[in-house]
Amino acid sequence: MPLEVPDPEYMFSGHVACPGCGAAMAMKFVLKALGEKTMMVLPACCWSIIAGAYPQSALRIPVIHSAFETGGAVASGVRAALDMKGDTETTVLTWAGDGGTFDIGFQALSGAVERNEDFIYVCYDNEAYMNTGVQRSSSTPYGAWTTTTPGSDWKKMRKKNIVEALVAHRIPYAATASIAFPEDLVYKVKKAKWIKGSRFLHIFSSCPTGWGLPSELSVKIARMAVQTNIFPIYEVEDGLRYTINFMSKGYLVNEYFKLQGRFKHLTEEDLNQIQEMVNDDWDLLLRKAGLYQE
């Protein structure tokens, strides 16, 4: 498996992301992998702002800004229009946040992938509605502070497993990836590019602003999420075949939580409970990949 990050850039400097924004890094790597024959559907999210206001744009590809809940539907329409024109070369890419994917955009996404529409859907996951001021989403992890889960009302529900929800549709390709593992990310996007039908990528994208994290730790925290099994990186082909791309040495979760202001209220007891949840989820993934050992 050749692992490399291509040189050409399709994202200009001058964008307006916060320093250390994982979503900006994710975009840079995904476009390097896809190249210029890409058309992007962009439901409302931080990236609607990061890209810049028309007629300026930080992106060197065509972008359609769409309504928040319509990422799957608009991409289906763009694909159909390109097919009518005989353009089978251009890749249609939806680029949506976790709110636009896990929550409000889920119906349109589920409908589109059930039809096995031919597009790549990327969810860059910063684990809350960041663009509107850090409200919780169903991607926000157990234990997190947000402006809608403040103080002792920190989130008590688990993060929704969006990849499993997509896998249940038996789509040809679903994968997780991380800004801390760029070669693996680029490899997966390139692989997805040549598969027909619905392809889904879930990219862990640190958000220093919303997580109370020093911007220089953005990549480090993303790496720790993988090393602790909080965010394992893996692929699922045809809803059946699981491949885990990084086998962690099983670092404990404490350090990951202690570096982020959004978790500063958690006690040792809370962290022990979270460690158990992470261990259970990891064991389940190992079973699916046929790697579990008693």
What is the contact surface with Mg ion in residues (CB under 5 A)?
97-98, 126, 130
Minimum CB separation of residue 75 from ligand SF4 in Å reads 21
User: How far is Cα 16 from Cα 109, in angstroms, rounded to an integer?
Assistant: 28
What is the identity of the amino acid at 3? Answer: L
Pairing between β-strand 63-66 and β-strand 120-125 as defined by DSSP bridges: unpaired
Name which of Mg ion, ligand SF4, ligand TPP, none residue 132 binds, using a CB cut-off of 5 to 8 Å depending on partner kind: ligand TPP
Give 234: exposed, middle or buried? Use CB within 10 Å, 0-12, 13-18, 19+.
middle
Minimum CB separation from ligand SF4 for residue 205, in Å? 7
196 and 172 in contact (C-beta within 8 Å)? Answer: yes
Instruction: Tell me which stretch binds ligand TPP (CB under 6 A): 8-16, 129-137, 218-226, 240-248.
Output: 129-137
How near is the Cβ of 134 to ligand SF4 at its closest, in Å? 8
If one asks whether residue 106 binds ligand TPP (CB under 6 A), the answer comes out as: no
- Per rule CB under 6 A, is residue 100 in the interface with ligand TPP? yes
Between CA 246 and CA 259 the distance in angstroms is 23
Residue 256 binds which of Mg ion, ligand TPP, ligand SF4, none (CB < 5-8 A, kind-dependent): none
E strand or H helix at 77: helix 71-84
Contact set with ligand SF4 (CB under 6 A): 17-18, 21, 23, 46, 50, 126, 130, 207-210
Residue 97 interacts with ligand TPP (CB under 6 A): yes or no = yes
Q: For ligand TPP, give the closer residue by CB, 66 or 90.
A: 66
Torsions phi, psi for 101 (to 5 deg): -115, -55
Q: Looking up tokens 């609607």, which residue turns up? A: 48
Which H/E stretch holds residue 225?
helix 218-227
Please give the Cα distance from 74 to 81 (Å, whole number): 11
- Nearer Cβ to ligand SF4, position 28 or 170? 28
Name the minimum Å distance from CB 161 to ligand TPP. Answer: 17
Residues engaged in binding ligand TPP (CB under 6 A)? 44-46, 68-69, 96-100, 126, 129-132, 137
